[in-house]
Structure formats: C-alpha cells, structure tokens
Structure 1
C-alpha cells in the first residue's frame, strides 16, 4: 500500500488517497482557514508599521536606491515573522515526537532548550503512554484529512488530574502540541475533526478505524511555561467544523461556477465612418 502524500493547490493543502490518487481531500487546517480572522489585517499592519519605525534610516536608504524593494521589505514583515515562528514550531514538534518515543536526545539548538525542558517536565508530571503519533486522520464520510500530533493514554484521578504513577483511570485522548503565543478556540475545531474522522492511515498506507476517544487535550508550550488543557471535541463542536467544510467547497469550487457567461452585453464604443477613414 502507498503512503498518503500531500500537495499544495490554491494556497491549500490536499491529502491524496494512498490507493486512489484521483481522490484528494482538503487538509483540516485548510478547512479551518475559512474562519474569518479580521484581526490578522490589523496585526499585519502593526508589524509593518513597527518595522518601518524601528528601521527608519535603513528603509529610507533602501528607498532611495530601490523604492519597490523597500516596499517589499516592509510588506513582508508579517510573513517573515510567521515563517520564523513556524520553523521553530516544526522543530519543536519534531523534538517532542522523538522525546515521547523515548529516543535519546543530544544537543539541541539554544532556541529549543526551553521547549525540551518543558516537554520533559510534562512527561514526568503526566507520564502518558504513546499510542500513535503523526499519523493521518482520514474522513471518507466528510472528505477531509489531516496529520494529528499524538494519541495518548493518560491516567486521571476522580478530579480529572493526572496520576503519573498510572494509578488512576486510563483515558484515551487525542492530543495536540501547540507552541504559539496562546491557545486559541479553533484548536477544538481541529481536534474534533481528527477525533471524528473515519480512520487512521499509517505512514506505510495501512489503515484502521479511528478509536473512540474519552476526550482531547492540548499541550501548550512556550519558552516560559507549559500547560496541559482539556479540549471539547463533542458533536456540537464537530458540527461547526463541518460547516466550515461546506464553506471550503463553496470558496474553492462552487463560487467559481455560479456566474455564467454573459448572454447579452454592450457592443463597445461606436466607431464612426470619419474615424475609420482617418486610420
């Protein structure tokens, strides 16, 4: 069996069926991108303004030599920041997977040291058992897919607190690692999509039904602290994700088909005989 591959199309990620390449489902995060986020416009403007003020002399010199280049430099402020943060997040996710699999970790980049320490603290405080990591959640029913971070068994007491000696009741959780500035509500949409998918597809292309989960949680790690937080992934939350899935189809497909060719239109500006003879 083949593995699940991904492609980028129109700014969205699509997952290709391992056995039927004609089937391409949008990624969970691409579906969630249909959520309106007007604050991003103001954040991007603020990033550009701060860069302009903080490097005024440099921008002025650049503009004298290359006005278009100076504009591109300022315009790319938010994009460059996002890329740096995404790179750190990807490296941290790779580190977390290696650690939870029990791999010996040597030296890491200084930027990753606090993440390594906090993840080690999490492992000591919670002592989860890894069931799956970085596999693909695939929905045949609703036509989406996505790579989840981990499925863990966590032992909890009657108050819902972890028991690192595993004396509590075992709970199967869909778990996501986050290294962003904060945890945001749309993580519930993301994790509900994973938990309600039809099956899990492993890297070798083998497939098995998605298990029944006792819940979900997000491990939020920053350079300063970590927190393990429960996340709702019930049917009500999943219904909102499905609404976005419909919006995705509208945005990427149906909206491009609803307006037909003109059946009548103006003939353009009249050309007089005098104008024709003057040519």
Structure 2
C-alpha cells in the first residue's frame, strides 16, 4: 500500500494545514468534541469528589485540578502505548525496556497481535477528505493475515469503549475511500493494565459524523469564516 500523501506541514488550532495551496482542514477529533459525553462528565465529577474525600482540607481549585492531572497521565500513557505500536510495526520486535507501569498494556498489545495473526500495515497515518474538508490521524491500519480482512483500528487505554470512537473511524474510512483504499471493518482495541484486551467491531456511520461536523460549523462561525477565506483564495488562484 502506498504511503500517505505528504500534504501537511503542521497541525495547530484544531486544524490540519494542507500546503500548496495553503488550506485548513478541521480535525476529526475537534469536530467530535461537540458531542456531549455523559461518561466523561460523570468521571470528572467523581474525580473531584474523591479528591475532596481523601483530603477534606483541599481547596476548591486544587480539587477541580485533580481530573486534569489524571487526564495528563492518560495522555502520557497513550503516547507510550503508541510508541510500543510504532516500534513493533517497524521492527516486528518487542521493546525490552518498557517502564513497569506500561508492561500490562504492552503485553495486551503483543498478545492481541500474536493471537489474531495481525500485520500492522500503517500506524499514525494522516487521512484527508477532500470531499468533506476534514482530516485526522488514524491509529492503525491492520490486516488479519488468515482472513485477509483489513481494519481501521482506534487504540484505547481507558476504562471502556464508547460509541464516539466509531464516528471517528467512519470519518477515516471516508478519507481512505477517496484514495481508493477499501476497508472491511472498523474496530476499537482497548488495552488494559492487567495485560488483557477488549476488541470490538462497529458499524460505519458517516452521516452521524457529518451531522456532528455541521453542528461544529454552526458553533464556530468565526473559524468557518477563516476556512472560507482560504477556500476563496484557492478558487481565485485556480
């Protein structure tokens, strides 16, 4: 499979920037931030509550900061896991020097690859939809070597698998279709600290993602004005 086209110089402000001509594409994850996430709200409230229970004299500002600290830890953990995946893709070998606190996640990933006879075709590939003007970076494009089926996979290390992940994957699938790359299934791989994993396939729902995109555009008229200015400049050059 051909490597992803080199269209990006930088990503900032919730956009991917295509060069020559310069044009912004709103990021998939930025779009999906408009969707209410009840589980996330519950998690936030629980973390604040437990911070105050464990330390009753804690000031309100410090208690409210507790969820953000854990969120930062989760991002660091996610980065470590993605490094494990990247290393395996290029070397087909396991990283020997994994910090102890990530050993379980690494074991879960390696066992999943081995047990399912997986070939990692691409990792952290940027995908563009020229038709709908968005872009994003998928975690993994893999093939089951026994069945030949190709999956777009979102790798998670959180508590569970949530429906929004499949909207994200649906967006990536559309971008790949525009490059004539056919996908057999969308799936989420949840890696757990205890060395186990959970794998779930889901249905593609591009219409739901595009509805979220329309809502994002409605809620961000100033940003859409910037996008329209760039698009107008591109048309004038043509």
Q: TM-score range by the shorter chain?
A: 0.7 to 0.9
Cα displacement string for residues 117-176 of structure 1 (whole angstroms, at most 9, x for unaligned residues): 111111110121222211111011111100001111114xxxxxxxxxx3xx31121112
Residue 197 of structure 1 aligns to a residue whose secondary structure is: helix
Q: Is the 2:189–2:197 contact (alpha carbons within 8 Å) kept by the matching residues of 1?
A: yes
Distance 2:39 2:162 in 1: 13
Distance 1:256 1:228 in 2: 37
Count of matched residue positions in the alignment of Structure 1 and Structure 2: 218
Residue 12 of structure 2 aligns to a residue whose secondary structure is: strand
Distance 2:110 2:16 in 1: 32
RMSD value over aligned CA atoms?
Answer: 2.2
Q: Is the 1:174–1:215 contact (alpha carbons within 8 Å) kept by the matching residues of 2?
A: yes
Q: Is the 2:8–2:16 contact (alpha carbons within 8 Å) kept by the matching residues of 1?
A: no
| 1:74 pairs with 2:63 | yes
Superposition deviation, residue 76 in structure 1: 1.0
What's 2:218 paired with?
Answer: 250
What's 2:206 paired with?
Answer: 238
Task: Indicate how the Cα distance of structure 1 residues 37 and 218 shifts in structure 2: closer, same or farther if over 3 A, else same.
Answer: closer
Flag the structure with larger Rg.
1
Higher relative contact order (CA 8 A, sep 6+): 2
Q: Is the 1:47–1:77 contact (alpha carbons within 8 Å) kept by the matching residues of 2?
A: yes
Q: Which runs of 5+ in 2 are unaligned?
A: 1-5, 226-238
State the 4+ residue runs in structure 1 displaced beyond 4 angstroms.
Answer: 254-257
Distance 1:26 1:129 in 2: 30
Distance 2:93 2:21 in 1: 35
| 1:170 pairs with 2:130 | no
Cα displacement string for residues 34-73 of structure 1 (whole angstroms, at most 9, x for unaligned residues): 112245444323322211121124x2xxxxxxxxxx3321
Q: Is the 2:136–2:172 contact (alpha carbons within 8 Å) kept by the matching residues of 1?
A: yes
Task: Indicate how the Cα distance of structure 1 residues 244 and 56 shifts in structure 2: closer, same or farther if over 3 A, else same.
Answer: same
What's 2:10 paired with?
Answer: 5
Superposition deviation, residue 255 in structure 1: 10
Match of 1:94 among 74, 83, 88: 83
Residue 152 of structure 2 aligns to a residue whose secondary structure is: strand
What's 1:276 paired with?
Answer: none
Residue 34 of structure 1 aligns to a residue whose secondary structure is: coil
Residue 160 of structure 2 aligns to a residue whose secondary structure is: coil
Residue 108 of structure 1 aligns to a residue whose secondary structure is: coil
Distance 2:198 2:42 in 1: 29
Distance 2:166 2:68 in 1: 25
Residue 186 of structure 2 aligns to a residue whose secondary structure is: strand
Residue 138 of structure 1 aligns to a residue whose secondary structure is: strand
Q: Which runs of 5+ in 1 are unaligned?
A: 60-69, 156-165, 201-208, 258-279
Superposition deviation, residue 19 in structure 1: 2.8
TM-score, length of structure 1 as denominator length: 0.72
Superposition deviation, residue 256 in structure 1: 9.4
TM-score, length of structure 2 as denominator length: 0.83
Distance 1:42 1:134 in 2: 30
Task: Indicate how the Cα distance of structure 1 residues 232 and 256 shifts in structure 2: closer, same or farther if over 3 A, else same.
Answer: closer
